[in-house]
Homo-oligomer: A and B are copies of this chain.
Amino acid sequence: MKTKQDTLYVGSLAKGLRLLRAFDEGHTDLSLGELAQRTGLDKSATQRLANTLHVEGMLDKDPVTRRFRPSHAWLQMAYAYYWSDPLIGQAMPKLINLSQDLGETVNLAEISGDHIIYVSRLPCKRTYFAATIIGRRLPALSTSGGRAMLATFPEDERRHAIETWPITPFTPSTTLDRAKIATSIAEAARDGFAVSTGQMILNEIGVASPIIGHDGRAFAAVQCSVSAHTWTRERIVSDILPKLQDTANAISPAFRAHRAGGA
């Protein structure tokens, strides 16, 4: 169990991070026992680590129920992240303009391994909760943003991704057939934008345009989600797409010349 690259690896710190990761949408507050169970750590270790995190202000503790919860520090980390990501500063004002212009929800997504992660969201319409908050990770293959990015990758890399990257059925209409996804991405490569329908939620259509980095690969995408009840694919392409692409294209140049992403 200590087979990590030993000497410059601090186990206690890693265990502490396990505690932090135990919190997610299904586990919003946890008792000591639940924490121990979810992390696989024993009771004493959990007690010490949780207490440390509490003392250091990373976990709030309800004085009566004694349950732990993420603290405001978790939001401050997002704040620090925003400053560190050069994309955000470039994109934010343009995204605001776009969302005001369209009157529809606009998102900024980055590639993160085989998932995409939403780094900025500007909701204009009432939607389900998860669609309004940042930091959500979704399988890249099932999102318009992910497909738009993938479409800019070299042929072999793209094929490998389509074959191996994960897909989770979120709705009955989530595309599980990888051949169909390949077609969708091929279209995106041809057209310069991607469309997805009902992948994450029924009757939702997503359109996305890639943001291209210094190496010609997309590392992010501007995305727009609309309801299939009020929009058709044709009207999306005629009314939304041009502005969406203008925005993505306006952001890209800053990253064509220099380097872009981390590790």
Known contacts A83-B24, A122-B122; is A75 also within 8 Å of B78 by CB? yes
Q: Output the nearest chain B residue to A135 by Cβ-Cβ distance.
A: B79
**Copies in the assembly, this chain:** 2
Report A93 CB to chain B, min CB distance, Å. 5
Known contacts A10-B48, A96-B125, A122-B123; is A74 also within 8 Å of B70 by CB? no
* A135 in contact with B55 (CB, 8 Å): no
* B77 in contact with A70 (CB, 8 Å): yes
Q: How many residues of A contact B (CB 8 A)?
A: 74
* B10 in contact with A77 (CB, 8 Å): no
Contacts of A62 in B (CB 8 A): 262-263
Contact of A4 (CB < 8 Å), options: B28, B55, B96, B132: B55
A69-121 contacts to B, CB under 8 A, are 69-72, 74-85, 88-89, 92-93, 96-97, 100, 110, 112, 117-119
Report A74 CB to chain B, min CB distance, Å. 4
Top-3 shortest CB links A-B: A79-B135, A60-B262, A78-B78
27 contacts between A and B (CB under 8 A): A4-B55, A7-B48, A8-B48, A9-B48, A10-B12, A10-B52, A14-B55, A14-B56, A17-B58, A25-B80, A28-B83, A28-B84, A60-B262, A61-B263, A63-B263, A70-B77, A70-B81, A70-B85, A72-B110, A72-B137, A75-B78, A75-B81, A77-B78, A78-B133, A79-B137, A96-B132, A134-B134
